Structure 1
Amino acid sequence: MEKKALYDSLNLDNETPSTLFVTDDKGNILLSNEFTAMTLGMSLSELLTANVYDLVKSGAYNTSATIQTIETKQPSQVTLLTNQGFQVQSNSTPILRPDGSLHLVLTKSAPLTQKELEQWGGIQKWQQLEQQEQQIEQDHAGIIAESNIMRRLISMCRQIAPYDSRILFYGESGVGKEVLAKFTHDHSSAANGNFIAINCATIPENLFESELFGFKKGAFTSADHNKKGILEETNGGTLFLDEISEMPLSVQTKFLRVLETMEFRPLGSSESIKVNFRLMSASNRDLEQLVAQGKFREDLYYRINVIPVYIPPLRERTKDILILANQFLQRYNQKYTKRVEIDGDISKYLLTYNWPGNIRELKNYIERLVILNGLSGHSDSQNTTKNENDHLDNYYVHKSEHHLEDYLAQVEKHYLEKKLQENNYNISKTAEECRISRPYLYKRLAQLNITVK
């Protein structure tokens, strides 16, 4: 699927310097990073207003894998030289729409080594950029993010925030799509306008049009007053449509017209109202599949899916679990006037449970924990046995000697080893049971030094 392919290719967990940008089918740069801008001798803000065709014409670099991919819709690889003396092995990958047309092009290089950076005089600049990025990533405006994946996603959302491009947030239910959408709005030029979040699944089909467009008095039997619709209320701000897959097909047709003209007519009115808003949408369903099934309009899908942002499930970012749990614990201790603490057994449960409901499920679990005065409420079958956890108990006893990251790695390693044994070291079955992708499982096995027999 296009959204996951883009996410996997971006490799957001990579901390080594490499060039990266994403363009549309015309070569306009939508996403990039500070290091890429540095190799071209320009600021990131300048790069994000550039076009790859213009960069080649101006001599910023001498050739382009991106252009080759745009023209062929095939992956391409070139060795290019930038105007700052950087020689880069550039690889471009096409991201195609369901009908085979080109949507986006991802272009990146292999991470540069420290020797290459020193050779081109870029090591000091890179260290400065790294420090700047770390500072930016620490400013999350209230978003809890300890994992590199989420820190980079936040940085990505901050980067695309100033532009009016429509964003489609993908991910399982409860991963925080609305939180990231609100963060993006707060860092955009529309930050002073309204952020209106609507869950399309909660609006009855027969009321959808009147809620979206509003109505005039007398438009229908019970319309005894004028009512502004969601679109008019959002004017000058951001409209966030969660579960957009649940928008009725009849409304999709009319909403597509709004996105094309940025005007609409309230029910019962003969006059159009012009609006200016940024659209962000979200879905936990596969919209490409719904398009293929005729349950979602293909042209609307293209309109809303300018920049896809995939948010991984909580089980793939375990570093966020305890810090989120402690935030919820503090909130509910204060709300219910309690002093509940998270002990070692509960910590191990939090870190080894799969959390199919993601952050929302974790939040509910912690609230229940506080209400029950520390009684976890999970069954014995959800916990590992005492013998299986002896080495973790010993590790936890000396927790003051270890960083949280070390402890999380130890728990994750034990969990993956156990799952591998249960599935006779079958990678596909293990990945499926852990609810993670096979590439991600291979990556974690290598990072945790786990040998597959």
Structure 2
Amino acid sequence: MKSILFVDDEIRLLRVLSLSFRKKGYEVILAANGQEARRRMKEDGPNLVFLDLNLPDANGLELLEEFMALYPQKVFVIMTAYGDIESAVSAIRAGAFDYLEKPAKLEEIELVINRAYTLLEVKQENIQLKSQLNKLESIEGFISISKQMKQIYELIERVSATDATVLLHGESGTGKSMIAKMIHSLSDRNNGQFIAVNCAAIPENLLESEIFGYEKGAFTGATASRAGKFEAAQNGTIFLDEIGEVPLTLQAKLLQVVQEKSFMRLGSNQLKQVDVRIISATNRNLKQMVQEGNFREDLYYRLNIIDMHIPALRERKEDVPLLVGEFLEKHRKKMKKNFRVSPQLMNILKAYEWPGNVRELQNAVERAAVLCKEEDLSLQDFPSEIRGSSEMNAEFPSIVSFNKKRTLPEQMEDIERQFILSAVEENDGQIAAAARELGISRQRLFYKINKYHEQMNKSSEEIKQKKEELF
């Protein structure tokens, strides 16, 4: 059952909430103070928590931070009185999913509940996915909420149960070798060897002997017979990375082993049979290479029984906060530091194009963790390419996209709303400082915030990101 904990010192309000949402089928848990809230969290384990900022025995923000650390898979919503927007912004920064201004209508509360449970479902899906793949030695970099990667996961699960030949293609750094390992680890061949061959890293004149092995005396220096990679992968999986680099002279022999599962060692006339699953990968356009005569068409179609395109990180930027969190968690444990990333820095990381994909992001986060002096990562801790990209964006800002279907006053409201949100973010929720930066009075800024409160609550970039990041 969906369970909700309401923490508020207004007993009458608690009774109304309890009566209303129990009728709607929720399990409702009530607490009138911080001590009772701690006990209820421990004993009842609610999924969703509505937390008042002003409690008789506890500071709401401190209680939120305490609960976030103890129960990272829960979702927290802050309830606050008008005029305490600064604290609400601080609560969002601390990890709250959303905030409601009291007195809130039951319809508004129900809307937030529905959105919160949508987020909880996403969290649960990712937990189940991680559980399904827990056989793997490492699945680092393969956690996702993007539709593209979820489709990849589903395809991996289906393909792993077969012996079908798989061709992985995508840019460098997208994780093709990791996906090949996943397929092997989830298959019935996981007791056999997973043998990886980087076809681009082996000189052309040595590639044949490396893959197929050789007999004694096959060439100068061959003082003893040696088995190749295909024999080493017997009853397991061979992964031919950068398959597009295999020369045409070797492709005919490779076709035979893909098609017949048989080959000859270099310098031998004896046919050898192997039982292997073949997975190949490339960052090149093999179809175009076939048209240009640089890759055998028959080999291409034999390798391409199952075709799997791995999307670039820039095509699934909603995964950047998740990946940053996952990579940082490893460094938190290793370096005993509670590394944090501000919303502003996360915006910069999401805006960057990541030409090196997940591998580049992983290396950038590791660099930042090593160089970080305290626990809050800064832009200066990241590589120069990311800093340069941020400076370029700052020099040529794009604060709002023009929409011809909207009127000029509507467009101006969008710009004003975004400027206000940006100023509040950059000043860490300090309304007085934000007002000075905007050149308006504190009272005027409060009026503007109240005016745009509903729209900002639904559409602000920071709140959207927090909802995505809370996986």
Amino acid aligned to 2:361: L
Aligned counterpart, 1:342 = 341
Q: Give, in whole Å, the separation in 2 of the partners of 1:179 and 1:161.
A: 14
Give yes or no for contact 1:235–1:277 (8 Å, CA) kept in 2: yes
Match of 1:379 in 2: 387
What is the deviation of 1:277? 0.7
Partner of residue 198, structure 1: 197
Q: How far is 1:380 from its partner?
A: 4.7
Give the paired residue count: 281
Residue 325 of structure 2 aligns with which residue? 326
Question: CA offsets, 1:92-141, max 9 Å, x none?
Answer: xxxxxxxxxxxxxxxxxxxxxxxxxxxxxxxxxxxxxx999888645343
* Equivalent runs, 1:164-243 vs 2, <5 Å: 164-243=163-242
Give the RMSD, CA atoms, in angstroms: 3.3
For 2:188 and 2:307, the matched residues in 1 are separated by: 20
8 Å contact 1:213–1:266 — kept in the other structure? yes
Indicate the residue corresponding to 2:19 in structure 1: none
Task: Give 1:80's aligned residue.
Answer: none
Asked if the contact 1:213–1:229 (Cα under 8 Å) also holds between the matched residues in 2, the reply is yes
- For the 8 Å contact 2:324–2:365, the answer to whether it is kept is yes
Structure 1 gap ranges (5+): 1-129, 413-453
Conservation of the 8 A alpha-carbon contact between 2:343 and 2:462:
no
**Structure 2 Cα separation of the partners of residues 150 and 408 of structure 1:** 24
Q: Distance in 1 between matches of 2:197 and 2:462?
A: 36
Where does the alignment leave 5 or more consecutive residues of structure 2 unmatched? 1-121, 400-417, 430-455, 467-471
Shift of 1:357: 1.1
Between the aligned residues of both structures, percent identity stands at 38
- The within-5 A match list for 1:244-283 is 244-283=243-282
Residue type matched to 2:243 in 1? I
The offset of 1:338, in angstroms, is 5.6
- 1:348-393 deviations in Å (ceiling 9; x for gaps): 1111111111101111211221222242244355244398585346
State the SS of the aligned residue for 1:379. Answer: helix
Q: SS of the residue aligned with 1:347? A: helix
For 1:144, the equivalent position in structure 2 comes to: 143
Bigger radius of gyration among the two: 2
TM-score normalized by the length of structure 1: 0.56
Please tell me the residue identity of whatever aligns with 1:199. Answer: N
1:192, CA displacement in angstroms? Answer: 1.3
Shift of residue 256, structure 1, vs aligned partner: 0.5
What are the equivalent positions in structure 2 for 1:26-425 lying under 5 Å apart? 137-138=129-130, 139-141=132-134, 142=139, 143-334=142-333, 340-373=339-372, 374=377, 375-377=381-383, 378-383=386-391, 384-385=393-394, 388=399, 390=419, 391-392=421-422, 394=424, 407=461, 410=464
Question: Which whole-Å CA distance do the structure 2 matches of 1:330 and 1:131 have between them?
Answer: 17
Q: 1:162 to 1:346 in 2, by over 3 A?
A: same
- Contact 1:191 1:237 (8 Å CA) reproduced: yes
Structure 1 residues 358, 392: CA separation in 2 closer, same or farther (over 3 Å shift)? farther
What is the alpha-carbon distance in structure 1 between the residues aligned to residue 326 and residue 252 of structure 2?
42
CA distance in 1 between counterparts of 2:345 and 2:424 reads 15
**Secondary structure of the structure 1 residue equivalent to 2:164:** coil
Residue 272 and residue 167 in structure 1: after superposition, are their counterparts in 2 closer, same or farther (change >3 A)? same
Distance 1:324 1:133, change over 3 A: closer
Give how far 1:179 is off.
1.4
Q: Distance in 1 between matches of 2:126 and 2:330?
A: 27
**Aligned in 2, Cα 1:392/1:235: closer, same or farther, shift over 3 Å?**
farther
Give the Cα–Cα distance (whole angstroms) in 1 for the partners of residues 177 and 154 of structure 2. 16
Distance 1:325 1:134, change over 3 A: closer
Instruction: Tell me, yes or no, if the aligned pair for 1:338 and 1:370 is still in contact at 8 Å.
Output: no
Q: Which amino acid aligns with 2:205?
A: N
Say which SS state the counterpart of residue 275 (structure 2) adopts. coil
Shift, 1:186, TM fit: 1.4
Greater share of residues in helix? 2
